[in-house]
Amino acid sequence: MKKWEWLRVERRNRLIDLHGGKCVACGYNNINVLHFHHIGPKGFSLGISQMHRDYEAVLQESLKCILVCPRCHEEEHQKLKRIDAEITQTLLDKKSLNEERKDGNK
């Protein structure tokens, strides 16, 4: 393994340890597959390819994240997609209602 590859893996493992070493949703603890899921504003992705950045920057970005397994990560994104779809539908319904009110006032 090249030095930079080792550094990326070492940094990722250190961050995983700092975040508890397991999925916050289900407790799965295979560190080789855990993901960082942003819950705050996303500056950059925390995939293994980003671990070359300044460690302090990577650490600060990780503080905007929770640690999840792939299954829980996907479920979280699906939940967010459903919420986005519900919000969009609510806004469309309100727009339609407002248009109906305007048409009724003519």
pLDDT tens per residue across span 8-29? 888 889 999 999 999 999 999 9
Partnered with residue 37 across adjacent β-strands are 66
Q: How confident is the model at residue 96 (pLDDT cuts 50, 70, 90)?
A: confident
Q: What is the mean pLDDT of the chain?
A: 81
Nearest to 49 by CA among 40, 30, 36: 36
Checking phi first, is residue 40 left (phi over 0); if not, alpha (psi -120 to 50) or beta?
beta
- Decide if 24 contacts 66 (C-beta within 8 A): yes
75 versus 6: which is more confidently predicted?
Answer: 75
The closest of 41, 49, 37 to 73, measured between CA atoms, is 37
- The residues, ordered by sequence, that sit 6+ positions from 72 with a Cβ below 8 Å of its Cβ are 23, 25, 26, 28
Residue 84 has a pLDDT of: 66
The torsion angle over the Cα atoms of residues 14, 18, 21 and 26, rounded to 10 degrees, is: -140
pTM score above 0.75: no
Joined together, the tokens standing for residue 57 give: 């920057």
User: What is the average pLDDT across 41-45?
Assistant: 71
